[in-house]
Amino acid sequence: MNYKKAHFVTSAAGLSDCPQDSLHEVAFAGRSNAGKSSAINVLTAQNRLARTSKTPGRTQLINFFGLGEGRYLVDLPGYGYAKVPLSVKDQWQEHLERYLNERPSLAGLVLLTDIRHAFKDFDLMMVRWSQQAGLPIHVMLTKADKLKRGAAQNALLNARRELAAFPGASIQLFSSLQRSGLETLEGVLDQWLEPTPES
């Protein structure tokens, strides 16, 4: 899959606004300050494809990036940090839950969490949602460059222990700044997005 060909397609306010031609798509989720947009931009080698902001929580819509042949990368609204009214956060949560549970073309979920503050309540909520929906999930411990190698490996080990209760969940270290972990991420996405004879 050539992720460098990714291009913006549409922003959806809810499930009914999502592209109808999607065969397989992978959604990226995470707290608003987890580095989600930066990871998507590194993956696609496009500095401005996913919107980044110094004010976390600006992404309030479900953003679709096309890869061709009915394949999409999906940038979900960030959660847990944004300075927005509680009613807006509740609406985000409702849209996210419906998307995860009811989107038939969703092939997997990539959850990004800051390696220094891994698995806050919202992160664990997303893991539980994926399990309930029977959806594969891959966790990226972002900003791994902020820790020394030994500390990063310890954080990875601890995170793996937390995920032990969720069969099928995979995990990796990732740094957008150093572009480390990119091949691992591409391998997971290729497996989920690879065209199948049925499609």
Q: If you average pLDDT over every residue of the chain, what do you get?
A: 87
Domain boundaries of the chain, sorted by first residue: 3-193
Bridge partners (DSSP) listed for residue 7: 66
Bridge partners (DSSP) listed for residue 74: 27, 64
- With CA atoms as reference, report the closest residue to 130 among 158, 94, 164, 167: 167
CATH of segment(s) 3-193: 3.40.50.300
How far is 101 from 81, CA to CA, in rounded Å? 23
pLDDT band at residue 183 under the 50/70/90 scheme:
very high
Tell me: pLDDT of 59 over 60: no
Give pLDDT, residue 56: 46
Greater pLDDT, 116 or 93 = 116
Q: Which range (49-53, 146-150, 187-191) has the least confidence?
A: 49-53
Greater pLDDT, 57 or 155 = 155
H or E element that contains 67: strand 62-68
Q: CB within 8 A of 156, min separation 6: which ones? A: 141, 171, 172, 173
Give pLDDT, residue 157: 96
How far is 73 from 95, CA to CA, in rounded Å? 17
H or E element that contains 139: strand 137-142
- Report yes or no: 6 and 87 within 8 Å, Cβ to Cβ: no
pLDDT band at residue 57 under the 50/70/90 scheme:
very low
Give pLDDT, residue 195: 55
Question: Mean pLDDT throughout 11-36?
Answer: 91
pLDDT in tens, 90-100: 777 777 788 88
Question: Mean pLDDT throughout 53-59?
Answer: 48
Question: Mean pLDDT throughout 97-114?
Answer: 92
Give pLDDT, residue 179: 94
